[in-house]
Structure 1
Amino acid sequence: MADDLLVKHCVAGDRHSFRILYRRHQHHVRQILYQLCDPSNLEDLVQEVFLRAWKGLPKFHQNSQFSTWLYRIAWNVASDRRQTLAQDRSRLQTIARSVVTQHHDPDMMQLHYQDLVRKGLNSLSEDHRSVLVLHDLEELPQKEVAEILDIPVGTVKSRLFHARNGMRKFLEESGVQL
């Protein structure tokens, strides 16, 4: 069943339709939040996104896709979270680095690269990180990223260019050969 039909059922009070929407979109919401927030509270943040979505469904005007609207909510939750809490990123990064230097296990190397990418994302401005996460990591089209962030497509392109350069520079400075 298409999202728009499920939304209509939800607005009529059908909780089962909302569970379908949750199962369909929770992975992408979780990925967005993981890239933009401290992962220690990830499940709470995912629940917050879907709670806001459930409460906001009666106001949802279906001029855009449900997924675009939902990802905008996720972005707003992430922004709210960053504004209210200081993130403790260095603890996980220190642990990952020490494990990687002690063992050259391929899984540990993967953790190291994930850690570097996360650290690189954190080195970017919020605007650049948001565009990079939504477009490159979540593979959303530039037009949809523009809708989610409520900015022109040209701004998405510009921020994406600068975000990629910033990430490339960070990785090169970290010793990653590109």
Structure 2
Amino acid sequence: MKRCKEGDTQSFRQLYHRHQQRVRSALYQLSGASHLDDLVQEVFLRAWKGLPNLRQASQFSTWLYRIAWNVASDQRRHFAQANTQRQTLSKTQPVEQEAPDLMHLHYQDLVQRGLAQISLEHRAVLVLHDLEDVPQKEVAQILGIPVGTVKSRLFHARDAMRQFLQKQGVQP
């Protein structure tokens, strides 16, 4: 970490290889597959630029997840703005009919659909804690919320996912 802070790109490359799969997984769960490579790249670019400001090397993964959360949030805002613009345009242009959903979905697709049904705040807690195995205390640090809020959001997110999966015919 010390060498990374001093600008050693080889050391940062090692950090990238150590953490990129978990960052990729978290971003996939938070944002989906669209532009995933770009989002991962953005996380590590922000990490590289922000390394001089990192105080404790032991908290690197927590700090990195916080950056991933920020990147996912930024992307969500960007897509919301773009969607609003598309809706404005679609009022004057005919809307093409979308292709029907596939009958057989892979398990990951089902989980993605379930995650898409819950708020970003609940999704973030569920992804970080249950899918990425980040302890509740670290999730609280990453998201900048109290541990009690993490526990509450986790409870509600799990309940929402359970209900969604039951509606899809998945039995516990």
Aligned counterpart, 1:53: 47
The structure with the greater share of residues assigned to helix is 1
**Quick check: 1:84 aligned with 2:67?**
no
In 2, Cα distance between equivalents of 1:168 and 1:52:
35
The letter for the 1-side match of 2:24 is R
Structure 1 unaligned spans of 5+: 1-6, 101-108
Q: Alpha-carbon deviation of 1:40? A: 2.2
Aligned pair count reads: 157
Structure 2 unaligned spans of 5+: 84-97
Q: CA RMSD in A?
A: 2.0
In 1, Cα distance between equivalents of 2:26 and 2:64:
11
Aligned counterpart, 1:176: 170
Query: Which structure would you say has the larger RCO, counting Cα contacts within 8 Å and 6 or more residues apart?
Result: 2
Aligned counterpart, 1:143: 137
In 1, Cα distance between equivalents of 2:58 and 2:165:
36
Map 1:8-23 to 2 at 5 A: 8-23=2-17
Map 1:24-103 to 2 at 5 A: 24-62=18-56, 65-86=59-80, 94=101, 97-98=102-103, 100=104
Q: Classify the secondary structure of the residue corresponding to 1:40.
A: coil
Q: Work out whether residues 93 and 115 of structure 1, in 8 Å CA contact, stay in contact via their aligned partners in 2.
A: no
In 2, Cα distance between equivalents of 1:128 and 1:44:
24
Aligned counterpart, 1:127: 121
Q: Could you report, residue by residue, the CA deviation over 1:39-69 in whole angstroms, capped at 9, with x for unpaired residues?
A: 1211111000000000001111117610000
Stretches (4+) displaced over 6 A = none
